[in-house]
Chains A and B, each alone.
Chain A
Amino acid sequence: MAEIAEIDDTQAKIKEFLSRFFKNHDLQPSEDIFSLGFVNSLLAMQLVAFVEKEFGLTVEDEDLDLDNFRSIDAISALIARKGGTSAAA
């Protein structure tokens, strides 16, 4: 149960961050953010900075795969794989 709660917390934080860029749109966990139009070089590095700062990990060369950043689900899976911990916890 604790693990599920942590994933939910991670997803909520990612959603909150992305919501700044997708105003008036209720982003779903599996929704492809690249299909929504805003994702370009302006968001790309901010997303990396957010993931690193918020979850205390380093996005590395081998993590540079669009599929790792495609959706809230994908980003939270990347964070889980890299052993990220919520900075707020």
Chain B
Amino acid sequence: MNLDLTPEQRAARERFRAFANERIVPFADAWDREEAIPRELIGELAERGWLGSLLPAEVGGAGLDRITYGLLIEEIGRACSSTRSLLTVHDMVGHALRRWGKPEVKERHLRALARGERLGALALSEPNVGSDAASIETQAAEDGENFVLSGRKKWTTFGQIADLFLVFAKVAGQPAAFLVERDTPGLSVVPIHRMHGTRAAMLAELHLEECRVPRASMLGRPGFGISHVAATALELGRYSVAWGSVGILQACLEASQKYAAERVQFGAPLAEHPLIRALLAEMIANVRAGRLLCLRAGFLQERSDPAAFAETMVAKYFCSVAAAKGASDAVQIQGANGCAPDSPVARYLRDSKVMEIIEGSTQIQQLAIPRFDFPEF
């Protein structure tokens, strides 16, 4: 067993890290305050092939392997969880389209998604539906060669600016998935402001009022929209959120180590106080354990092992819980300074809470994980 990154993966991580440190870290608190990330940043991410980066070169993607993809998500997530969430949802849509889309719809959109020229967003949650995704109330009625969609979607990350929405709706009681273009008549986008965390993720509510879409825009078939199409998107989403949580935890650790080294109380730096050292030790252990779980999940995904599903779920569960605990401790270490306006650790704490909710809440993971059989390494 070899747990070392390849020289190429290490070099890629250096590129991701340098970009994050230069182009994201210095501005992330301002974006959080302004509740938006700049278009210029999205252009820079697209230019580097980091939007749709898992999609293969033949459709214009960067064709990253799952481990390198994880390193990208960790570095972007360390800098700004809102920016990381753009990559997550955009990649989920591209991944599901590539897997279950009709050839003509792939032809129309996949290359643009792979190049980041069009942004994808996921429209699954509704005012009355969160974890219980199979109970969606949005309806899709068959009408000749079209489907007519009506309903409301909520908490759509980057819904404010996305060009394509992967919308889940019921066809005669059966869940189905549709790719809906932003300019479809009847679709209106209502921004959601003042979210607790990932505040710059430009969330929106979608109102679908008799949106007519061609039959070919359906991914998969009625009855398989949740179990196969959403599941395909969510499996990648969980992997991405797991790595993003490692990024938040790493940011918490770095901020805590720096503060504990510089801040003197009772005549000694905080880092010399045993109770602070205990918090730092836990953060160090958790970030290393979380990263290993993510690497293991990525390794299984790379070889298309069916066991990757459960392993990814464990990684998402552990990393999101560890990030929330680490961020809470990072604020605790900084005391009032950690609660101040524009404190990065306060942002990490708000953003980490979101990680415990999205792509299957902590409780959903806890219900599911014991049902799997975990093969030995």
On A, residues with C-beta under 8 Å from B are 17, 20-21, 23, 38, 40-42, 44-50, 52-53, 61, 64-66
Contact of A44 (CB < 8 Å), options: B228, B305, B368:
B228
* Chain B 224-259 interface 0/1 with A at a Cβ cutoff of 8 Å (1 = within): 101110111001000000000000000000000000
How long is the Cα–Cα vector from A1 to B61 in the complex, in angstroms?
A: 47
Q: Is B220 engaged at the interface, CB distance under 8 Å to the other chain?
A: yes
CB distance from B248 to the nearest CB of A (A): 26
Residues of B within 8 A of A50 (CB): 306
Judge whether B191 is part of the interface by a CB distance below 8 angstroms. Answer: no
**Is B309 in the interface zone, CB < 8 Å from A?**
yes
By a CB distance below 8 angstroms, the chain A residues around B372 are: 20, 42
Tell me whether B223 and A45 are in contact (CB under 8 A). no
Which residues of B sit under 8 angstroms from A65, Cβ to Cβ? Answer: 221
Interface residues of B, dominant DSSP: helix
B223 contacts A41, C-beta separation under 8 Å: no
Given contact pairs A64-B220, A64-B224, A42 touches B371 in the complex (Cβ within 8 A): yes
Is B308 interfacial (CB-CB < 8 Å)? yes
A53 touches B305 (CB 8 A): yes
Chain B residues within 8 Å of A38, by CB: 371
- Contact status A44-B373, CB under 8 Å: no
Report how far A45 CA is from B234 CA in the complex, Å: 11
B220 and A44 contact, CB distance less than 8 A: no
Residues in chain A near residue B228, CB distance under 8 A:
44-45, 48, 64
Known: A45-B227, A46-B309, A49-B308. 20 other contacts (CB 8 A): A23-B373, A38-B371, A41-B226, A42-B371, A44-B228, A45-B228, A45-B231, A45-B232, A45-B235, A45-B309, A46-B306, A48-B228, A49-B305, A52-B304, A61-B100, A61-B221, A64-B220, A64-B221, A64-B223, A66-B223
Q: List 20 A-B pairs, Cβ < 8 Å.
A: A20-B372, A38-B371, A40-B227, A41-B227, A41-B230, A42-B368, A42-B372, A44-B224, A44-B227, A44-B228, A45-B227, A45-B228, A45-B232, A45-B309, A47-B306, A49-B306, A49-B308, A49-B309, A61-B102, A64-B221
Taking A41-B231, A44-B227, A48-B228 as contacts, is the C-beta distance between A20 and B373 under 8 angstroms? Answer: yes
Question: Within the complex, what minimum Cβ distance (angstroms) separates B225 from chain A?
Answer: 10
Contact A42/B306 with A61-B102, A61-B220, A64-B220 known, Cβ cut-off 8 Å: no
In the bound complex, what is the Cα–Cα distance between A49 and B221 (angstroms)?
A: 18
Residues of B within 8 A of A (CB-CB), count? 23
In the bound complex, how far is the Cα of B307 from the Cα of A53, in angstroms?
Answer: 11
Q: Which residues of A contact B134 (CB under 8 A)?
A: 41
Q: Enumerate chain B residues within 8 angstroms of A23, measured Cβ to Cβ.
A: 373
Q: Which residue of B lies closest to A21 (CB)?
A: B373
A66 / chain B contacts, CB cutoff of 8 Å = 223
Q: Kindly report which residue of chain B lies nearest to residue A42, judged by CB atoms.
A: B368
A52 to B224 alpha-carbon distance, docked (Å) = 17
Name the 8 nearest CB pairs between A and B, nearest first: A44-B227, A20-B373, A41-B227, A45-B231, A50-B306, A49-B306, A64-B221, A53-B304
Asked whether, in the complex, the Cβ of A53 is within 8 Å of the Cβ of B227, the reply is: no
User: Which residues of chain B from 276 to 311 have any CB-CB distance to chain A below 8 Å in the complex?
Assistant: 304-306, 308-309
A64 to B100: give the CA distance in the assembly, Å: 10
Q: Mark B192-236, 1 if CB is under 8 A from A, else 0.
A: 000000000000000000000000000011011011101110010
CA distance A64 to B229 in the complex (A): 11
For residue B102, which residues in chain A have a CB less than 8 angstroms away from its CB?
Answer: 61
**Cα-based distance from A49 to B300 in the complex (angstroms):** 12
Of B100, B230, B306, which one neighbours A53 at CB under 8 angstroms? B306
**In chain B, residues 350-377, which have Cβ atoms closer than 8 Å to a Cβ of chain A?**
368, 371-373
Question: Which A residue's beta carbon lies closest to that of B309?
Answer: A46
Are A42 and B309 also in contact (CB < 8 A) when A21-B373, A61-B220, A66-B223 are?
yes
Q: How far is the CA of A23 from the CA of B370 in the complex (A)?
A: 13
Residue ID in chain B nearest A52 by CB atoms? B304
Q: Do the beta carbons of B231 and A44 come within 8 Å of each other?
A: yes
Closest to A54 in B: B306
Q: What chain A residues lie within 8 Å of B308 (beta carbons)?
A: 49
Closest to A39 in B: B227
Q: How far is the CB of B374 from chain A (nearest CB, A)?
A: 10
CA of A38 to CA of B261, assembled, Å: 52
Q: Which residues of B contact A49 (CB under 8 A)?
A: 304-306, 308-309
